[in-house]
Structure 1
Amino acid sequence: MVGAMVSASTGALNSLLGKLATLMGKEYGKLKGVSKEVESLADEFSSMKALLERLADVDELDPQAREWRNQVNDMSYDIEDCIDEFIHHLGNNDAAAAGFMKKTARVLKKLRARHQIASKIQEIKFRVKEVSERRLRYRLDEYTAHSCYVPVDPRVVAIYNEAAALVGIDVPTDELVHLLMGEEKELKVASIVGFGGLGKTTLASQVYHKLEGKFQCWAFVSVSQKPDIAKLLNKILLEIGGGTCHTGDLDDLLKTIALHLQDKRYFIVLDDLWDASAWKVIKCALPANDCGSRVLTTTRVYSTASACSSYNQHYVYNMRPLVRSVVAFTRVLLPSFQELKYVRVLLLEFKAAQMHKMDITSVCGLFLLRYLKIVTDCDLELPNQFWGLRYLDTVVLENPMRLFVPSGVVHLSRLLHLIVPCGMVFQDGIGSLKSLRTLQAFDFSRSSLESFRSLRDLTNLRDLRLDYERFDMDDETMDAFHSLLESLSHCSSLKSIVISSLVPHFDWLSTLSGFPRNIRRLHLWGLWFPRIPNWVSQLHDLYSLELVVIEVAPKDDSIDILAGLPSLAHLRLEIKHDREEMIVISGTGVAFPALKHLALVCPKPALAFESGAMPRLHNVDLWLTVSGWGDIIKWLGPIGIKHLPSGLQKIFLCCRGKDADEATLSALRSVFNTHHPGIDLIMR
């Protein structure tokens, strides 16, 4: 995502210079003339890189300068592809592999290898010569921006661009949405960085329209090189619904916006920032609240992107030309990828083809592929050659009727994210994928016991989902399950764990050590804990918890355990046994300080609120497994429905298997409208 090797203003030149250095290295450099030729190319590319970085600071290039810049960037990608292909065919899939240097030396001694590299260098030299001559002819080293007219700002057009017309826009959009969203409650700021004309504004616009409905306030504003800050802030204030500030005083504007956004979940896009000074002023109006707010900026300058972004480069998105991404929609036949062998990102979607097993063998020819996503409603079989995609770091397979994966997938040593549907059978060896960060979903009711045990070796995992889809479990699998969960308690990298099991009872659940203290999401579906475990109180970073307990005893402090979690925003609690006494939520303001969504599944209504309880609560879902609608009406009076916070937006009520008549529905609406008029009330 950050990818320092692909620069914002210089395309692939950074990466290319690194690979040229490899060609000048110990073994490649022994070839006669290679080191000298490559060194000359490296010097020329370094000079081009410096000029491109200078041109990146110019707001509006004339057509000649813009054309030269685009040609250099296109050339850098093409030459990088050329070098990648050459190194790939020499067997350079892993520089650290045993015997690699000896193997490479043997290959390079062959006349054919010598001829290949000499031929590649001559091809590169010819292209570089053309571009360099054009640079001298245009006198670009003396370039200064000039313009005799005021053009229409292309960002205005880009904001309204149709996403369907932009090939490959889906991949960066999804990547940015994933980068921005998540369950973090603190303010997150991300930046898109890239030279002019790459489509930063269009991408930001697509992300904005995809996410705006998930926030209470949102705004999209263009900053430009010399912004009128007061005018800009007034536009933000207007778009977030705060009216206008007539004084025009900068301090008043900053305070007015900050006050309006203080307790709201907001999303602001600041397009075309040129330097950090403008950001330092604007950010004074953006409160760092704990409501899950997000800010997205676009800029041509990497230092500006880094200054804006949360945790510096971790939230900097380097804009890539979309030509290396391909999206294909087909019913039966997969298109040939012979002419697209340098593609890094591939999305395939097969629909309405249930009678066919798709042949995707041609995908294995895309030897530089990094990201592969396949969505299909038919049978999907990955070919045996699949393991040869050595640079692959992300595989997403969605909705196949049946899925067949070769055992060689465990040889994808660079794989970071593996997202597959439940039901996939994992063979032995998955523990060798040491770089794996995301594994969804590992079905240990179908996969081998040895592969299940080897999950403990994946020490870099951040996101893990386990599924068990049988109603019984043998002793060996149960012991392996217990052992894995105990080992996960020491895996500090884990941020999300989801476990779904059709076997609910395990004798060792009450003695489980717990989970990593910095876990953010913990969903334990189908595991019945006797009571709320004490170790939950240690999970101070926990944002989302879904838990099933057999009972909440009248005099234990289990509800207090949950109430004391400072970061908990989503809670789904299922209580299996009925209880006579109410669960009273304290109104001190200390209990559930961050909770926004409460889902309670229980036999009968068992929840009461004191004044000031759950101050940030937005949504309540109540699923009753025994009670009828009459019990709900009787329960609403004493529970303190009037004490629920004024910010409550939606209440969902469900009595399983019991339909409410119109009189009951009317009575319920009347109760809620008395204390929370206008609330979204859903009853089933």
Structure 2
Amino acid sequence: MKILSIVGFGGQGKTTLAKAVYGHLKPRFECQAFVPVGQNPDIKKVFGDILIALDEQTYTRPKLLGLDENQLMGKLNEFVKEKRCLIVIDDIWDKKTWKLVRCALQESNCGSRLVITTRIYEVAAYADEAYKIQPLSHDNSEKLLYARIDDGEGKYFDSLSAETCERILKKCGGVPLAIKGAFLAEELPEEVGLLTQLVCLRAGHWDYSWIDELPEEVGLLTQLVCLRADDYAIRVPAGFIGKLTSLQELRISCRGKDAIIMQFVEELGLLKELRVLKITRICRSESIESALLESLGHLHNIQELQIGNYSLSKYRVSEAGSLSYCRHLRLLHLDRLVFSALPAWINSSLAPNLSYLDVQVVVVKDQDMETLAKLPELSCLILHLTGTKLVSVKLLAEGVGYFRKLRFLKILGSLIRFDVRGSECNSSRVPSNNTIMPGLESLEFGVHVRSLKDEKLQLGFDKMLGFQNLGTSSLQRVKAEVNCGGASTWDVEEAEAALEHAAAVHPKHPTLLTNRVESQYMISRYQEV
């Protein structure tokens, strides 16, 4: 199979060119497939998507569901041996993914063609031919910009000065996506409201300068799909966000009077098409936080939700029942919002696609951890727990794949000890077929030595700090922050020795990184005496 690569950095038009090539050549081939990959792909899904696109009659999602990676690769190999195929794999980000794709499609004697797009030159080099995409010339950039501004009759171009247009062209640097989708400028003139067909606006830090506020004319851009203004805190005008009902992506760092911020938060609920929402500097009072949660409950298409706050204040949330519909949610990161317990809507039924979760909870119970363990797509879990005491969590159901896709686990605050089917996870009595965290690669947690010692449980550090049965075939890295405050030198060293032992006896012998904090408050041997 002959391979052509299209290489260049983001926004240069690699995908657009690949689509044009695909559309032009597809009538000449028996079977065709155009499959996007992106960062951190599920390679099984990629192979499945290719097979379904090539022959949707033979291959369906239910039929492929039970096949592993090697079986899918085998089916692809067999298919391309007998058919003349045109396959486009768009946006490959790493060599590992590319090697697997190439291996699955390498055997073909029927004149098939494979086109890939990538921003990684090492990936592009593996192709038979590589085309390095070039920035647009100044003349072509100018034509593209004018076409975006012009409404078809040349009416809008006259409203923008030549100086403003030249500044836009200079900052876009010949990148088509920047010219087509964004108005990049050190300041946004009032004329921005005339760009009524604009679909993407980025306002913020650019070449060591940034805009201070959004003009109220931004509210006239009703076709806007993407608004990014999160490089620096930006003043927002009153009542503008509720008009942008076509928005699918909003990233913004807000500042302004509380009344304006409150109006902004309340109008967020009108953005029914929103898929991605990232807001910082927003929760400055409990009333604003409450209104924000209420608005979020109306965003039924939300896929990525990040709420940050640069202040040191934390706002206690008793319940987030308003976020009851989140079936499309894949990423959830809530900073400075502390839930009294795990929100009821975070479960496998209401959030089946949740893969990244970063949340702060006062108390975590057995049932909460079992609920998290059953989330089918969860791959990254970061838990901020209040307190420093040991929390023992029992997972009693048999035959359940606990945390089956989890790759990264970080627990801050309380230390969690998993007790599987009544046996501690670090005990040799745990059945060898237990399925807790089978794919875990990275584990991070804190150890408050004095608190663990004060528990006075009939457990030594070796049992409290064991992790031998987590990620038994996958664990690569363990990082433990050892808090020495109020603990004796002997106890700290004993805890560190227990961690080293746990890493040594783990089947994968993961790399162990320990870091002491508050060591200045550790009780020395002299003080003990």
Scaled to the shorter chain, the TM-score interval is 0.5 to 0.7
Structure 2: give runs of 5+ residues left out of the alignment. Answer: 25-35, 45-66, 90-96, 106-111, 117-130, 147-162, 420-424, 516-529
> Cα deviation per residue 1:455-496 (whole Å; 9 max; x = unaligned)?
2221110011222356x4174x345324313333xx2x2111
Structure 1 position 541 matched with structure 2 position 350 = no
What's the % identity of the aligned pairs?
Answer: 17
Distance (Å, rounded) in 2 between the aligned partners of 1:495 and 1:401: 31
Distance (Å, rounded) in 2 between the aligned partners of 1:360 and 1:603: 55
Distance (Å, rounded) in 2 between the aligned partners of 1:154 and 1:646: 35
From the superposition, tell whether residues 261 and 432 of structure 1 become closer, same or farther in structure 2 (CA, over 3 Å): same
Q: Which residue is equivalent to 2:187? A: 381
Q: Is the 2:378–2:406 Cα contact (8 Å) retained in structure 1? A: yes
From the superposition, tell whether residues 578 and 256 of structure 1 become closer, same or farther in structure 2 (CA, over 3 Å): closer
Q: Which residue is equivalent to 2:370? A: 560
The one-letter amino acid of 2:500's match is R
The one-letter amino acid of 1:497's match is L
Distance (Å, rounded) in 1 between the aligned partners of 2:508 and 2:286: 54
Which secondary structure state, in structure 2, belongs to the residue aligned with residue 413 of structure 1? coil
From the superposition, tell whether residues 664 and 508 of structure 1 become closer, same or farther in structure 2 (CA, over 3 Å): closer
Matches within 5 A, 1:149-164: 155=4
Q: Which residue is equivalent to 2:200? A: 394
Distance (Å, rounded) in 2 between the aligned partners of 1:679 and 1:547: 26
Distance (Å, rounded) in 2 between the aligned partners of 1:561 and 1:433: 37
Matches within 5 A, 1:126-165: 155=4
> Cα deviation per residue 1:64-110 (whole Å; 9 max; x = unaligned)?
xxxxxxxxxxxxxxxxxxxxxxxxxxxxxxxxxxxxxxxxxxxxxxx
Distance (Å, rounded) in 2 between the aligned partners of 1:256 and 1:669: 35
Indicate which of 446, 449, 452 corresponds to 1:623: 446
Which secondary structure state, in structure 1, belongs to the residue aligned with residue 371 of structure 2? helix
Distance (Å, rounded) in 2 between the aligned partners of 1:666 and 1:461: 50
From the superposition, tell whether residues 479 and 648 of structure 1 become closer, same or farther in structure 2 (CA, over 3 Å): closer
Distance (Å, rounded) in 1 between the aligned partners of 2:465 and 2:493: 23
Q: Is the 1:625–1:655 Cα contact (8 Å) retained in structure 2? A: yes
Distance (Å, rounded) in 2 between the aligned partners of 1:528 and 1:568: 21
Distance (Å, rounded) in 2 between the aligned partners of 1:305 and 1:394: 34
Count of aligned pairs: 398
Indicate which of 613, 627, 637 corresponds to 2:436: 613
CA RMSD in angstroms comes to 5.3
From the superposition, tell whether residues 561 and 154 of structure 1 become closer, same or farther in structure 2 (CA, over 3 Å): closer
> Cα deviation per residue 1:284-307 (whole Å; 9 max; x = unaligned)?
xxxxxxx9x995999xxxxx999x
Distance (Å, rounded) in 1 between the aligned partners of 2:81 and 2:216: 50
Matches within 5 A, 1:105-254: 155=4, 169-172=8-11, 192-195=18-21
Which secondary structure state, in structure 2, belongs to the residue aligned with residue 431 of structure 1? helix
Q: Please report how far the alpha carbon of residue 656 of structure 1 lies from its aligned counterpart in structure 2 after TM superposition.
A: 5.2
Distance (Å, rounded) in 1 between the aligned partners of 2:195 and 2:83: 41
Indicate which of 225, 235, 241 corresponds to 1:416: 225
Distance (Å, rounded) in 1 between the aligned partners of 2:508 and 2:416: 22
> Cα deviation per residue 1:506-535 (whole Å; 9 max; x = unaligned)?
455355453422311122221111111222
Distance (Å, rounded) in 2 between the aligned partners of 1:396 and 1:641: 45
Which secondary structure state, in structure 2, belongs to the residue aligned with residue 545 of structure 1? strand
Which secondary structure state, in structure 2, belongs to the residue aligned with residue 408 of structure 1? helix
Distance (Å, rounded) in 2 between the aligned partners of 1:419 and 1:620: 33
Q: Which residue is equivalent to 1:343? A: 144
Indicate which of 433, 446, 450 corresponds to 2:263: 450
Q: Is the 1:522–1:546 Cα contact (8 Å) retained in structure 2? A: yes
Which secondary structure state, in structure 2, belongs to the residue aligned with residue 449 of structure 1? helix
Matches within 5 A, 1:420-431: 420-421=229-230, 422-427=232-237, 428-431=239-242
| TM-score (ref. length: structure 2) | 0.59
Q: Which residue is equivalent to 1:202? A: none
Q: Is the 1:519–1:542 Cα contact (8 Å) retained in structure 2? A: yes
Indicate which of 586, 590, 597 corresponds to 2:401: 590
Q: Is the 1:528–1:549 Cα contact (8 Å) retained in structure 2? A: yes
From the superposition, tell whether residues 256 and 388 of structure 1 become closer, same or farther in structure 2 (CA, over 3 Å): closer
Q: Which residue is equivalent to 1:572? A: 382
From the superposition, tell whether residues 478 and 533 of structure 1 become closer, same or farther in structure 2 (CA, over 3 Å): closer
- Structure with max Cα Rg: 1
Distance (Å, rounded) in 2 between the aligned partners of 1:504 and 1:403: 29
Distance (Å, rounded) in 2 between the aligned partners of 1:173 and 1:594: 34
Indicate which of 177, 182, 185 corresponds to 1:372: 182
Q: Which residue is equivalent to 2:506? A: 675
Q: Is the 1:621–1:653 Cα contact (8 Å) retained in structure 2? A: yes
- Which of the pair is proportionally richer in helix? 1
The one-letter amino acid of 2:21's match is F
Which secondary structure state, in structure 1, belongs to the residue aligned with residue 439 of structure 2? coil
Distance (Å, rounded) in 1 between the aligned partners of 2:410 and 2:13: 28
